[in-house]
Copies of this chain bind each other. A is one copy, B any other.
Amino acid sequence: MPRQLIPRPTLQRLPAYLNYLRSLPPDTRSISATAVAAALGLNEVQVRKDLSAASKSGGRPKTGYTVGILIRELEEFLGYTSIKNAVLVGVGRLGGAMLAFTGFEERGVHIIAAFDNDPAKIGTEIGGVPIFDIARLESVCRSRGARIGILTTSPLPAQELCERMIGAGIEAVWNFSTAHLEVPEQIIVRNEDLSVSLAMISRELEERNHGK
């Protein structure tokens, strides 16, 4: 059964609902869309719509959603329950932090290998993930069927490494390098640029100051 394309803004809000539901006291059996909206400061109509897109079971008129079921439905909907192999390229500080982060597995992403060109790092491991020579990028990606490539290098080698990953079967590139990547149309690129967040914070601070 083909999944329906859902609007990106909805998809962006779903993990926040999931985080909130997981943070509830364990004895909370059910919750209404109204309560979720109030807790997260969102519009109630929107929350209702978002949850009904993700939940097959649906909420009941008075009690709302059963928390445990809604959590499982959100997890499945977000793709957290189907594990996809990933590789990470560039074991600097950020790359190292990501390898040590334990939250990927429970979100459906299994980092099977990392790559670097620093002899001091090659052959070691972080968070149980082995670090290989970058020369082995293609062979490891192919033999393990890696689908996601996490790019945590500096901007300079990013385009070349991106192309090598795609050549080795990677379907989605998660780009932390700040480089602008040129990729074939069928490849998914998600740019993670902290400077966007910084810009939002800076602008808002200034707008508020000027508004005073």
Contacts and interface: CB of A to CB of B under 8 A. Distances in A.
A199 B93 contact: no
Say how many copies of this protein the assembly contains.
2
Nearest to A104: B198
Nearest to A2: B210
A199 B107 contact: yes
B193 A16 contact: yes
A188 B204 contact: yes
A3 B199 contact: no
Contact of A109 (B78, B107, B202): B202
Interface residues of A, number: 67
Contacts of A103: 178, 194-195
Nearest to A152: B97
A15 B206 contact: no
A35 interface: no
14 contacts: A3-B203, A15-B195, A15-B199, A16-B193, A23-B179, A78-B195, A79-B199, A82-B202, A82-B206, A96-B97, A107-B199, A109-B202, A172-B204, A186-B208
Q: Which 5 A-B pairs have the closest CB atoms?
A: A79-B202, A93-B97, A78-B199, A2-B210, A97-B97
Given A3-B207, A11-B200, A77-B203, 5 more contacts: A11-B199, A19-B180, A84-B205, A108-B202, A172-B201
